[in-house]
Structure 1
Amino acid sequence: MQLLQQHETRSFRVLVLLLVLCVAAFAALFAVSALSGKKQTPVITERCVAVVGGAEYWLTLEQAANASIISGVAVARGLPPRAVSIALATALQESGLRNVNYGDDAGPDSRGLFQQRPSQGWGSEEQVMDPAYAATAFYNGLEQVPGYLELPITEAAQAVQRSAFPDAYAKHEGPARAFASALTGQTPTALSCTLRAPVESADPAVSAAAVEEIYGPLNGSVLGPLYLADVEGAYGWSVAQWFVANAKTLGIESVAYDGRTWHRGTAVWTESDAVPGQVAVTAFSLPAE
């Protein structure tokens, strides 16, 4: 019995000693860091934020880019923002707004943003994996729903998707409405993205081709590092915020429209001399060596 007590005492002392050493090591590291006077470079979390009506929601860059395609397709065909809210809530539930190339047990051949099934007539697998095609197919179905603009999001989405969990769409209504309002241009400067610096120069002609693939011809022109798109009103804000949502992949440095400019460095919209009726997109360029 005495030997057991002595063993337990030694074990306890060893445990206490190890704890003291850990605390001392942590304190030493903290002291060295403080004395060095060096600040750690903060990690920039890349994301896009929509602020509408005092509420703030965020998406990853991948999600925001997909949301901009879903919205841009609707704007190009003249659909109201409510249609975009329904579509975004649906895609958030079905795929997390990611263009996934797999389905689940309920729909093993489901694919894409809306988990559309080729076996159910939505198109080929290649087609439903194209975000613009998938959004167009969804809107085609939505427009067949009588009075869909007056229906709750859950009912409108379910009428198109016929999901096994129809009530699940409701939990995405907040972010869906906020990003729809921003990306359709109903709320100017509502969308902003925080990005790291790009690693290579960008071509403004690539931006021109990308936006016109979604919106169609915008009477745009490329002038040096600038792409200028002739658009007005809410349509112009839709295009401007589309560029912000895609600034990472397109290598965009700034977007200016109607007295406001978003800049990659500040990640916010600020007052500027940007003219109405024209979205000005500046491509990122590395300084000359």
Structure 2
Amino acid sequence: MAPRSRPPRDAAATRSMARRRRRRRALAALALTGALIAGTAYGAWRYIDENEYLLDEHCEAVVAGETQRLSPAQAYSAAFLSASAAERGLPPEAALHAIAISLQETDLELREDEGELGERVLFARGVGSWAGEGSAEGTPIDSAGFYDLLEERAAAEDVDEDEDSEDEDAVVWEPDMPLDEASEALLRPHNPQFYPEHRSRAETFLSPLAGQSEASLTCTLSQLEDEIPSPDPQGVSEELVALLPAALEIPSTEYEGDEEDEEAEDFDPEPIPEGIVDLEGSSESGIVTVTPPENSELLDEGYSMDWMLAHWAVASAREYGIQTVELDSRMWDRDAAGWTDSSREDVAENTVRIGFDRDWDEE
């Protein structure tokens, strides 16, 4: 019996089936490609996120709707200039002018550091064109020299008009004077018209750094071990004692012998910070607790010491490996890069607690 022959397939139907198979294969290939791309993108994102390659380290101040940014190094310098003005009993406007002038002249970055706090070079060298023809007197370039001249020019206002004085023609520095005029009074070397450009940023950062606004300065910082300094609670303690001894009313040792002895001239008083700046533990387990006086006789009324100290610590976080800063019911956390409410009960009122442990336990 001859085999039954199959009827011939419809050519149109065969082509349609082939197209469907090709379409399914194409869709499967596209789905696989999409999955591979998504997996690769997710893996790359996780790698970048964990290694913080795209992290923009910065410090930010938000005051009265105004937001301004500085680098961590700039914020540290601004905090230093503000605290230095407070220590001298100068009004906050002195710090405002110092920060704005430094922004213009050195971008608020440390040029030289000789070890002593007052010798930090944050200003430009040069002589202002208004200093007089043939004048060889350079402008102060370190923080101590800057504030020395500012105090001298501020005191010039009190000089008796009838009293003969070499400074009777000097321009007087006043807290409320515009920045261009302040730059002339302080013999700054750049064109006076440039300095006012930096007032807004300086003013916004001064508010938290002088303690005038609460929880208004924060820093976004790396946590990579090879990019951050080791925790240094002792360094924080030593800098605070050296930077603000008068404002914190830190007593010093006294010479116990006869003041007329030769040894009395060489006696170097040592600060006694116990009860004011206390250090407990070391490295990551270290805690620095700062208890400022309630009413400092030296401090200008424009400052609030507790929030000035808290914001100083935030601005110094990258320098010293600080992880947390607490004041009253608020806490700055380096991981969160912001201020949050704290329920910790062991922090005394108006006391600043500075921590160095990333794995802090609020309870």
Greater CA drift, 135-144 or 62-71: 135-144
Q: Does the alignment pair 1:265 with 2:335? A: yes
Of 165, 168, 172 in structure 2, the residue corresponding to residue 146 of structure 1 is 172
Separation in 2 of the partners of 1:197 and 1:163? 39
Residue in 1 that maps onto 2:86: 75
Greater CA drift, 212-221 or 143-152: 143-152
Residue in 2 that maps onto 1:6: none
Secondary structure in structure 2 of the residue aligned to 1:56: strand
Secondary structure in structure 2 of the residue aligned to 1:91: helix
Q: 1:266 to 1:142 in 2, by over 3 A?
A: farther
Residue in 2 that maps onto 1:221: 278
- C-alpha contact 2:93 2:176 (8 A) present in aligned 1: no
Separation in 2 of the partners of 1:147 and 1:132? 16
Of 181, 185, 207 in structure 2, the residue corresponding to residue 159 of structure 1 is 185
Question: Deviation of residue 120 (structure 1)?
Answer: 2.1
Separation in 2 of the partners of 1:165 and 1:174? 18
Separation in 2 of the partners of 1:138 and 1:284? 41
Question: Deviation of residue 146 (structure 1)?
Answer: 3.4
Map of 1:1-289 to 2, 5 A cutoff? 32-36=36-40, 37-40=42-45, 41-42=48-49, 43-100=54-111, 112-117=121-126, 120=137, 128=141, 132-137=143-148, 139-141=150-152, 143-144=154-155, 146=172, 148-197=174-223, 199=225, 201-216=230-245, 217=250, 219-224=276-281, 225-231=286-292, 234-273=304-343, 274-284=347-357
Separation in 2 of the partners of 1:91 and 1:81? 15
Q: Normalising by structure 2, report the TM-score.
A: 0.61
Show CA shifts across 1:218-250 (max 9, x none): 611112321101026711111111111111111
How many residues align structurally? 245
- C-alpha contact 2:327 2:353 (8 A) present in aligned 1: yes
Separation in 2 of the partners of 1:201 and 1:189? 25
Q: Which amino acid aligns with 1:227?
A: V
Secondary structure in structure 1 of the residue aligned to 2:197: helix
Question: Deviation of residue 215 (structure 1)?
Answer: 1.2
Separation in 2 of the partners of 1:39 and 1:113? 41
Residue in 1 that maps onto 2:25: none
Question: Deviation of residue 285 (structure 1)?
Answer: 6.4
Runs of 5+ in structure 2 lacking a partner? 1-31, 113-119, 128-135, 156-170, 251-272, 295-303
Secondary structure in structure 1 of the residue aligned to 2:355: strand
Question: Deviation of residue 159 (structure 1)?
Answer: 1.2
Secondary structure in structure 1 of the residue aligned to 2:183: helix
- C-alpha contact 2:150 2:173 (8 A) present in aligned 1: no
Q: Which amino acid aligns with 2:66?
A: A
Secondary structure in structure 1 of the residue aligned to 2:185: helix
Q: Taking every aligned residue pair, what percent have the same amino acid on both sides?
A: 29
Question: Deviation of residue 135 (structure 1)?
Answer: 4.6
Separation in 1 of the partners of 2:352 and 2:190? 43
Question: Deviation of residue 31 (structure 1)?
Answer: 7.3
Question: Deviation of residue 30 (structure 1)?
Answer: 8.5
Residue in 1 that maps onto 2:9: none
Separation in 2 of the partners of 1:68 and 1:51? 15
Q: Normalising by structure 1, report the TM-score.
A: 0.75
Q: Which amino acid aligns with 1:276?
A: E
Question: Deviation of residue 33 (structure 1)?
Answer: 3.4
Root-mean-square deviation (CA), in Å?
Answer: 2.8
Q: 1:140 to 1:38 in 2, by over 3 A?
A: same
Runs of 5+ in structure 1 lacking a partner? 1-27, 102-110
Q: Which amino acid aligns with 1:60?
A: S
